[in-house]
Structure 1
Amino acid sequence: MNAAHQQTPHHGESGHHPGHGHGGHHEPGDRHQAEILDLDAEVLSEHIASITAWLPLKNRPRRIVDLGCGTGAGTFALLGRFPDAHVTAVDASAGHLQLLREKACARGAEGRVRTVQADLDSDSWPDLGRPELVWASASMHHLANPDRALRNVRGLLAPTGLFAVVELAAFPRFLPAGAPGSRPGLEERAHAATDSFHAGHVPHRGADWGPMLTAAGFTVEDERTITVNIEGARSEAVGRYAYASLQRIRGVAAPALGPGDLAALDELLDSNSPNCVLRRKDLAIRTERTVWAARRA
């Protein structure tokens, strides 16, 4: 299905926009976004696995739909958690779906994955079967009309099936308090600038999905907030994740930052600088993720 809207950059988020497509080729923004999604999957793999293990399922699902699947972080976590299941992975980006298929082949899982390119903001969705589990991670808040999408999920979900909505409470922070030394508080000021932008462009970011799920005909069975705090010493990927994320934040925050803040941010992103985040040993990933587990009322 074709996307209904023009794609815009993802505004400093590691999430992906399931309602905007890229056509059949890899655009530069598509590749950058894919890099962040892959890093997100790498550094947060333990947290994703803990969420899939927590899900209050009545039976082990055999048919799963991953809405706004990106490059497959949730898809492969779910395949690992449920070895007898098949996953239908849905996204608007042909490039992301191609990467997901390549990963499935490399892991010998191509027979367990079906990819569907679709705009989740469309009036009508393609046939996604009758899944026992629908998973939507960091995707629903990007939709222009999430209420309609929630009703669509209710319509396709099996009678005893579970709908899991996973959302970031806030975009991750990476720098310690007081860093960088030349401009303490820079990261928070950059986030404040992006928050102002998001308020107008991504109004459902940070929303409480409980009331929206109830209004769409679901009963919220459980809700859980997971605190993420991963020290950079545990994985060199933390530095790469911070670098890619701060690059994206800069693209949105730059017009609102003063010259001193912008220069300090550019130094953090200068791979030739000794102060580049790729060289810092004091980074950490700090954020929260909230999960809503719901069933058809």
Structure 2
Amino acid sequence: MTPHTAQHGAHDVHRHEHDAGDQAEILDLDSEVLAEHIASITAWLPIETSPSRILDLGAGTGAGTLALLERFPEAEVTAVDLSANHLYRLQEKASAAGVADRVRVVRADLDTAQWPELGTPELVWASAAMHHMADPGRALRQVHDLLAPGGLFAVVELAGFPRFLPEDAPEQAPGLEERCHAALGHHDAEQLPHRGADWGSELAKAGFTVEGQRTITVDIGPPHTDAVGRYALSSLRRIRGAGASALAAADLAALDQLLDHDSPHSILRRNDLTVRTERTVWAARRT
């Protein structure tokens, strides 16, 4: 899931795998740093009967899959992603957690009109995946058709990359992080036109009954763990890759100092980092 677990139907597989390799670390760190918040979302889901078959769309390296397996100890999860690298890491995590026998992985491009056989799940989970779809309306209808009658579809979307720095940081370029996010926003507006969509209305159009919506506010630290520092580093590195062309030279130089492990200004040397973001979940039922 994903800034997580994008499905790029128009991109070739080799290009996607290179990108997926870059994404894997940030997905793992997201899972580690925000594990408590992911668990709070799975606990909130309006489940009437514990599901035995769960489908995780755009599963990434397994944050949602493992949280769902813990929340529903009798269930099995089919995890779908385009990236073989992500699915391999997901399987490694499932093995380490002792739940490999409850996980089936399927490599598939969810932007294609014909999905592989995915069974009849009672719960479908899609975290940071829907806004990456070329045609999310079609994908929502496909989920509706494969979901068991009375089953639940949980759509989780993110408010972009988290914020980590104080507003007046860094000293040489106060407010840099907000300008980086603004630059990324211009990029995303072109590349990800469905980010920020009204998923409640989209779910209703696809035939679902929306039973609940909840926004989780994340505000962690300081003090922070080493994982938060690495999470901030990976996130800002991804932002630089996407938004560098829209940044002024002075901002780019300051950002590069933050990303330089050996710099005295490295983000890994800061003790004032926080993790600030929001996640919204919609719970919709096939009636």
Same fold (TM over 0.5): yes
Q: Distance in 2 between matches of 1:28 and 1:135?
A: 25
Q: Secondary structure at the match of 1:89?
A: strand
Q: Distance in 2 between matches of 1:111 and 1:25?
A: 31
Post-superposition, which runs of at least 4 consecutive aligned residues in structure 1 deviate over 6 A?
A: none
Q: 2:272 aligns with which of 282, 290, 296?
A: 282
Amino acid in the other structure paired with 1:295: R
Q: 2:58 aligns with which of 55, 68, 86?
A: 68
Q: Structure 1 residue 18: deviation in Å? A: 2.8
- Indicate yes or no: 2:34 matched with 1:48: no
Moved more, 66-75 or 173-182: 173-182
Q: Distance in 2 between matches of 1:27 and 1:147?
A: 26
Task: Report the counterpart of residue 162 of structure 2 in structure 1.
Answer: 172
Q: Structure 1 residue 153: deviation in Å? A: 0.3
Q: Distance in 2 between matches of 1:74 and 1:269?
A: 29
Q: 1:216 aligns with which of 192, 206, 209?
A: 206
- Indicate yes or no: 2:75 matched with 1:90: no
Q: 1:232 to 1:27 in 2, by over 3 A?
A: farther
Paired residues in the alignment total: 286
Task: Report the counterpart of residue 133 of structure 1 in structure 2.
Answer: 123
Instruction: Say if 2:61 and 2:86, in contact at 8 Å, map to a contact too.
Output: yes
| Deviation readout 1:34-64 (Å, 9 max, x if unpaired) | 0000000000000000000000011111100
Amino acid in the other structure paired with 2:57: L
- Indicate yes or no: 2:6 matched with 1:17: yes
Amino acid in the other structure paired with 1:155: D
Q: 2:98 aligns with which of 90, 93, 108?
A: 108
Q: Which runs of 5+ in 1 are unaligned?
A: 1-9
Q: Secondary structure at the match of 1:251?
A: helix
Q: Could you tell me the TM-score, scaled by structure 1's length?
A: 0.92
Q: Structure 1 residue 233: deviation in Å? A: 1.8
- Indicate yes or no: 2:201 matched with 1:228: no
Q: Secondary structure at the match of 1:260?
A: helix
Instruction: Say if 2:224 and 2:271, in contact at 8 Å, map to a contact too.
Output: no
Q: Structure 1 residue 26: deviation in Å? A: 9.1
- Indicate yes or no: 2:67 matched with 1:77: yes
Q: 1:163 aligns with which of 133, 137, 153?
A: 153
Q: Distance in 1 between matches of 2:4 and 2:13?
A: 19
Instruction: Say if 2:200 and 2:210, in contact at 8 Å, map to a contact too.
Output: yes
Q: Structure 1 residue 171: deviation in Å? A: 2.2
CA RMSD, 1 decimal: 1.7
Q: Could you tell me the TM-score, scaled by structure 2's length?
A: 0.95
Q: Distance in 1 between matches of 2:227 and 2:93?
A: 19
